[in-house]
Amino acid sequence: MPHSLRQKLSDLGTLEVGKIFPNEPLNRHCSWQIGGPADLLVEPENIDQILTLVTFVRNNQIPLVVIGQGTNLLFDDAGLRGVVLKLGADFSQLEVVGNIMTADAGLWVPQLARRAMQAGLAGFEHCIGIPGTLGGLVMMNGGSHRKGIGETVRRLWVVDIQGKLQVLNQADCGFSYRSSVLQGRGDILLRVELECSPGQSGKIRREMLADLRERRLKFPRKTPNCGSVFLSTTEMHKTVGPPGQIIEEAGLKGTRIGMAEVSDQHANFILNLGGASSTDVLKLIKYVRRTVQQKIGFELHCEVRYVSTQGVVEPVNLALKANC
């Protein structure tokens, strides 16, 4: 680490920004369990601490990466030269008033779904099995069964790239399938206000249990993975089918590079068999994309995002040329 950066991070440690962890291994903070150390990882407890941190790193030109549970991220084995801001359990308050739920970005998504069920609020059944935090889910308009969380967003609070707190409404977010304009603007999502529909708790619970049963049968759960690697689109479904199907049809189930393997259970999952490197995963993704392109004539795009050592976060397919 350059001396100047070391001094700046030391200065940051004197500020009130939350819990601070120097040289923190990032494989502890993502579901793939891959990644080297970050110079500094910070877990804030409130918005004031986040604003202090963002202002400091912006003024000192320090790379900043914001994460939740890291369920959609591939960290580099060399780690990250800068600061990781983790919004997790310490930043996960939830309030329910009538049919409005207001929650912090670090809230665990299944917890949100269960609380909605208990309150007799519908619209989150498709979220019960998603292993991530609310902030990441909203940023990418995540969901399952072709649904997205953006449908229920009423307002949200963000820190913009200038370090200012802003309130946005649903129209400002530009939600589309597994995407939003928030992803490219550098905003840090802090809190979300969700408008729900009244429902029957018993019916909602049955739908959630059915979804969880389907997930247990369909998806690999015990071996570290990031969930779906490749993006499923409406065009893809109409022309060639979902990613898992076309990867399987290309004969790629069980394909392995190093300790990374295309799952035998669901081909849109790549498993860390134990000690897989970021390079193993990148090379395997590149091989899958090239093979599918050659055999089926369709270009796969990645849902999972790669985090470089310089703090650049982008879909893996855009990062492949520089790393493989």
**What kind of architecture, by CATH, is found in domain 92-216?**
2-Layer Sandwich (3.30)
The CATH number of 15-89 is 3.30.43.10
- Does 249 have pLDDT greater than 90? yes
Is residue 221 part of the annotated active site? The answer reads no
What residue ranges do the domains of the chain occupy? 15-89, 92-216, 221-323
pLDDT band at 234 (very low <50, low <70, confident <90, very high): confident
Indicate the residue type of 213: R
pLDDT band at 62 (very low <50, low <70, confident <90, very high): very high
pLDDT band at 321 (very low <50, low <70, confident <90, very high): low
Is residue 249 part of the annotated active site? The answer reads no
Marked catalytic residue, from 228, 232, 263, 277: 228
Q: What is the pLDDT of residues 116-159, one digit of tens each?
A: 999 999 999 999 999 899 999 999 898 887 789 999 999 999 99
Whole-number pLDDT of residue 3: 61
Is residue 232 part of the annotated active site? The answer reads no
- Average pLDDT of every residue of the chain: 93
**Burial 61-88, CB ≥16 within 10 A → b, else e:** ebbbbbbbbbbbbbbbeebbbbbbbbbb
Whole-number pLDDT of residue 250: 95
Instruction: Extract the tokens encoding 144.
Output: 């399952």
Marked catalytic residue, from 125, 178, 193, 308: 178
The 3-class SS string of 12-73 reads: HCCCCCCEEEEEEEHHHCCCCCCCCEEEEEEECCCHHHHHHHHHHHHHCCCCEEEECCCCCE
Q: Which class does domain 221-323 fall in?
A: alpha beta
Give, in order, the Cα–Cα distances in Å from 253 to each of 182, 268, 275, 303: 34, 9, 20, 19
Task: Report the predicted TM-score, pTM, of the whole model to 2 decimal places.
Answer: 0.92
Count CA atoms closer than 13 A to 42's CA, side-chain side: 28
Dihedral over Cα of 241, 244, 245, 248: its sign: positive
Instruction: Extract the tokens encoding 66.
Output: 């914001």
Alpha-carbon distance of 77 to 84, in angstroms, equals 15
Smallest Cα–Cα separation from 64: which of 78, 47, 50, 76?
50
Marked catalytic residue, from 92, 179, 303, 305: 303
